[in-house]
């Protein structure tokens, strides 16, 4: 009987000791959790092993990590949104300011017909720039939101590119470009939206016209299981540090030098190519900048 009582007392003591240790561990965890609310990166730890409590704390630590990740992503999105709003404001304000300035000049009574016509031409040009910016903002938001209508079908890239090159011919001539065009024959079609392909190629040509200089190389060729449209031009002011950012909206490498802030053209190229299942790319070798799309063929 005494032996049974002794074992009962030992068992009771063990249970009480376990409850005490678990209670102490939970109290320590509660204090650590309170500290973790104000100290990012802090995690809960046990002073002594207790598997059930350790499992609980592991789950809590996981929730803390998730919360910190969400908080960091939220701050990054807020910062990105602030930058975008600032850039949108700047890019829209520039043509608007010009339009308002010339409209004030047009109110003058001493203008002759030639001056009036010239001012009106400037106002029209700035208004078209403003329209293009607003359209680009809207289109990019629709593409990224999955609201841009696409109908995937076989598309002949050469047949899409050739008329665009003809339409840009005078623009490149007036800008003093030496254009070298190399388009391979008998290439297979790619799965894409015809209008989306035209938009991508048009934006790439516009980018070369606005930001390129001197020599421009336009190539369409096959590379293993993809077709490549590549637009290469001299870019002496571009650096390897700029390269990862060329597809960012509102980014242009020469924005400090030229005042041009909007990089929407290449942002649309990347987003629209991805929506159609293809990949935009950018390279910089020996001062020559190449940007384009790798079009995946039918599998």
pLDDT of 177-235, one tens digit each? 888 999 999 999 999 999 889 989 988 998 888 777 778 899 999 998 899 999 998 87
pLDDT of residue 72: 78
CATH at 164: 3.30.565.10
Render pLDDT for 68-97 as a digit per residue (tens, 0 to 9). 777 777 787 677 666 666 666 666 777 788
- Does residue 279 share a domain with residue 159? yes
186 torsion bin: left (phi>0), alpha (psi -120 to 50), beta (else)? left
- Quote the pLDDT of residue 71: 74
Q: Please check whether residues 158 and 292 belong to one and the same domain.
A: yes
Question: Is the pLDDT score of 258 beyond 50?
Answer: no
What is the residue range of 258's domain?
154-296
Domain end point (choices 55, 72, 89): 72
Note whether residue 147 is domain-resident.
no
Copy the structure tokens of residue 131: 């329209």
Average pLDDT, the chain: 75
Nearest to 29 by CA among 48, 10, 12: 48
Q: How far lies 14's CA from each of 18, 36, 267, in Å? A: 6, 32, 66
In-domain check, residue 213: yes
The angle at the Cα of 264, spanning 298 to 76, to the nearest 5 degrees, equals 100
Q: Rg of the Cα trace of the chain?
A: 31
From 72, 99, 134, the end of a domain falls on: 72
pLDDT at 67 over 90: no
Work out how many domains the chain is built from and give that number. Answer: 2
């Amino acid at each position: 009987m005494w032996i049974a009582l002794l074992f009962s007392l030992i068992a009771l003591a063990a249970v009480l000791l376990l409850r005490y240790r678990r209670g102490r561990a939970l109290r320590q965890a509660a204090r650590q959790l309170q500290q973790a609310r104000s100290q990012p990166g802090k995690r809960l730890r046990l002073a002594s092993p207790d598997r059930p409590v350790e499992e609980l704390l592991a789950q809590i630590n996981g929730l803390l990590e998730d919360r910190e990740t969400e908080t960091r992503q939220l701050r990054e999105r807020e910062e990105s949104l602030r930058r975008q709003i600032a850039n949108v404001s700047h890019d829209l304000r520039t043509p608007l300011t010009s339009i308002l300035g010339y409209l004030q000049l047009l109110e003058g009574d001493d203008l002759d017909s030639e001056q009036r016509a010239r001012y009106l031409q400037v106002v029209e040009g700035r208004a078209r720039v403003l329209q293009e910016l607003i359209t680009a903002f809207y289109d990019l938001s629709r593409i990224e939101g999955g609201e841009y209508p696409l109908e995937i079908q076989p598309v002949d890239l050469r047949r899409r590119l050739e008329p665009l090159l003809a339409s840009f011919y005078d623009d490149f001539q007036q800008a003093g470009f030496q254009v070298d065009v190399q388009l391979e024959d008998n290439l297979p079609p790619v799965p894409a939206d015809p209008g989306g392909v035209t938009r991508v190629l048009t934006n790439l040509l516009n980018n070369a016209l606005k930001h390129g200089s001197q020599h421009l190389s336009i190539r369409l060729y096959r590379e293993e299981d993809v077709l490549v449209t590549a637009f290469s031009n001299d870019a002496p002011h571009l650096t390897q540090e700029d390269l990862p950012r060329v597809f960012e909206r509102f980014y242009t490498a020469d924005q400090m030098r030229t005042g041009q802030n909007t990089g929407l053209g290449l942002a649309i190229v990347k987003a629209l190519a991805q929506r159609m299942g293809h990949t935009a790319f950018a390279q910089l070798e020996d001062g020559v900048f190449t940007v384009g799309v790798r079009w995946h063929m039918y599998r």
